[in-house]
Amino acid sequence: MSNSIKLAILGLGTVGTGVINLINDNLDELKRRSGRDIIITEVGTRRQRDDIDTSITQNSDLMAIAASDNVDIVIEVIGGTTLAKDVIMQAIKNGKHVVTANKALLAEHGNEIFAFAEENNVHVAYEAAVAGGIPIIKVMREALAANKIDWLAGIINGTGNFIMTEMRDKGRPFADVLEEAQELGYAEADPTFDVEGIDAAHKLALLASIAFGIPLQFDKVYCEGITGITLQDVNYAEELGYRIKHLGFAVRRDGQGNSEDAGVELRVHPTLIPQDALLANVNGVKNAVLVNSHPLGQTLYCGDGAGAGATASAVMADVMDLVRVLGSKSGDEQNSSEKNNHGHHVPHLAFIPEQLSDTPILRAEQMITGYYLRVHAYDSPGVLADITRILSDAGINIDAILQKPAHKVGQVPVIILTLPVVESQMNLAIEKIEKLDTITDKVVRIRLDELA
């Protein structure tokens, strides 16, 4: 092995050019830290670009690059789940380590990709796939490796956080802010992945696997977006000392003696959290992940969750880790001869593959959260008594009530915050409340978490 590390960059979009720029800007720093030359030997792009360093050959045959002898590490920053998957599998088959920023691909096909990598004794690194430049994958797989993780809560979609921040700070409605986010390039022309929570669900699936040692199960993530959040609810939440953020939660439940209710909650939804929580003060396009683990307690990681610089930083951190793997030549030989020796590298999903557990993912009805309820009722004397009785009968504890003056004649919203309750119980209670004669509209409900 020569002293140089040879990189192929597949894809020359924002992230690919970000990686090239990082290497140009920080080459000296990379060498001083790794003791190695880091060189880009191949760039794969379907369209030739003339704004890239001309000493780098651009090649449109990505499958050939992924198999090239002139490459140690393949960086996949094409995106999508078709060609990206093909080139990654090709690279793995040819004994190349892979670095990818592709959360959708890993959330949907990660189990297969990681297993193939194990078989071929290569690593697929994916720091950039979750929360951009925040090193949450490294933190959870390595820094928290001695902890039992109880739960995590993350702002893991920058577009959604930008929208929620602007709605609150400037009192602007959802549609208006979304349009601005699109103009600023924060949101795609089709914003579905961001505003419906799908992008966050991809990332949550990855985080949950490395938190609990379970296979990737993107299809089981409960997913609610922010399209239904109104300024009215944003303002009521603030008045009660809370802030609405779009969060992904992964929570381990022991079932409190009832093994049927033991499992993992995977959910993405708008959530009221206390205003004074650090997470509530992570604004704009910033991302942050709060992890609660034993015995460490709560730790928070915050930074840019997207953008060329942040993503390139994460991609190249993975490369720097792989440089150490590649540096140990006898370690490589050992890889080929000794399978299933997991002592020498960080397992893809944090836990060694044969130790991944089949802990069930809980159904929505089994999930336990607090609630914010907005109930619209005719202003008749008994309505509050009716509502609170229904909640009380369902074993739901009320934490706060706010009854505002009527904004339509004869109609007043009642805001109720509850303590945590099993969703099936809340469903039943809401059904009953909506059947009351005095209730004029569907009950609006948003989950609430004290992050305690």
120 near a second copy (CB under 8 A): no
Alpha helices in 328-381 (DSSP H): 329-337
Query: Following CA atoms 435, 439, 445, 449 in sequence, which dihedral angle do they give, to the nearest 10 degrees?
Result: -100
- Asked if residue 403 lies in contact with residue 384, where contact means CB atoms within 8 angstroms, the answer is yes
Residue 380 beta carbon to a second copy: minimum distance, rounded to whole angstroms: 44
119 near a second copy (CB under 8 A): no
In this complex, which beta carbon is closest to a second copy, that of residue 102 or of residue 313? 313
Rule CB under 8 A: choose which of 17, 102, 313, 369 binds a second copy.
313
Dihedrals φ, ψ of 348, to 5°? -50, -45
Task: Say if residue 145 is exposed, middle or buried (CB neighbours under 10 Å; 0-12, 13-18, 19+).
Answer: exposed
What is the rounded distance in angstroms from the CA atom of residue 441 to the CA atom of residue 408? 13
How many residues in total does the chain contain? Answer: 452
How many residues at the interface with a second copy, by CB under 8 A?
Answer: 76
| Piece of 67-75, 108-116, 256-264, 309-317 that binds a second copy (CB under 8 A) | 309-317
Rule CB under 8 A: choose which of 64, 146, 184, 419 binds a second copy.
146
| Piece of 76-84, 154-162, 314-322, 381-389 that binds a second copy (CB under 8 A) | 314-322
Clarify whether 329 is annotated catalytic. no
CA dihedral (294, 300, 306, 308) positive or negative: negative
**49, 57, 76, 243 from 227: Cα distances, Å:** 38, 44, 32, 16
Tokens read off for 433 = 């409340």
| Piece of 23-31, 77-85, 152-160, 224-232 that binds a second copy (CB under 8 A) | 23-31
In this complex, which beta carbon is closest to a second copy, that of residue 71 or of residue 430? 71
| Piece of 143-151, 215-223, 379-387, 433-441 that binds a second copy (CB under 8 A) | 143-151
14 near a second copy (CB under 8 A): no
250 near a second copy (CB under 8 A): no
Rule CB under 8 A: choose which of 158, 197, 303, 370 binds a second copy.
303
In sequence order, which residues have a C-beta less than 8 Å from that of residue 402 and are 6 or more positions away? 236, 239, 240, 414, 415, 416
Rule CB under 8 A: choose which of 10, 89, 105, 144 binds a second copy.
144
- Among 138, 203, 245, 286, the active-site one is 203
The 226-245 site mask, x for binding a second copy (CB under 8 A), equals: --------------------
- Asked if residue 418 lies in contact with residue 370, where contact means CB atoms within 8 angstroms, the answer is yes
Residue 328 beta carbon to a second copy: minimum distance, rounded to whole angstroms: 4
The 348-387 site mask, x for binding a second copy (CB under 8 A), equals: --xxx--x-x------------------------------
Alpha helices in 289-382 (DSSP H): 308-327, 329-337
Q: Which residues within the stretch 25-44 sit at the binding site for a second copy (CB under 8 A)?
A: 25-26, 29-36
Residue given tokens 């579905």 in the structure block: 192
Residue 442 beta carbon to a second copy: minimum distance, rounded to whole angstroms: 37
In this complex, which beta carbon is closest to a second copy, that of residue 299 or of residue 411? 299
295 near a second copy (CB under 8 A): yes
Residue 321 beta carbon to a second copy: minimum distance, rounded to whole angstroms: 7
Residue given tokens 């836990």 in the structure block: 351
The 175-214 site mask, x for binding a second copy (CB under 8 A), equals: --------------------------------------x-
What is the rounded distance in angstroms from the CA atom of residue 182 to the CA atom of residue 325? 41
451 near a second copy (CB under 8 A): no
Tokens read off for 302 = 């915050």
Q: Which residues within the stretch 260-279 sit at the binding site for a second copy (CB under 8 A)?
A: 276, 278
| Piece of 40-48, 259-267, 328-336, 441-449 that binds a second copy (CB under 8 A) | 328-336
Rule CB under 8 A: choose which of 326, 383, 384, 439 binds a second copy.
326
In sequence order, which residues have a C-beta less than 8 Å from that of residue 157 and are 6 or more positions away? 194, 197, 199, 200, 203, 246, 287, 305
Tokens read off for 371 = 């609630």
| Piece of 111-119, 312-320, 358-366, 412-420 that binds a second copy (CB under 8 A) | 312-320
What is the rounded distance in angstroms from the CA atom of residue 224 to the CA atom of residue 239? 24
What is the rounded distance in angstroms from the CA atom of residue 352 to the CA atom of residue 341? 10
Catalytic residues, by residue number, are 203
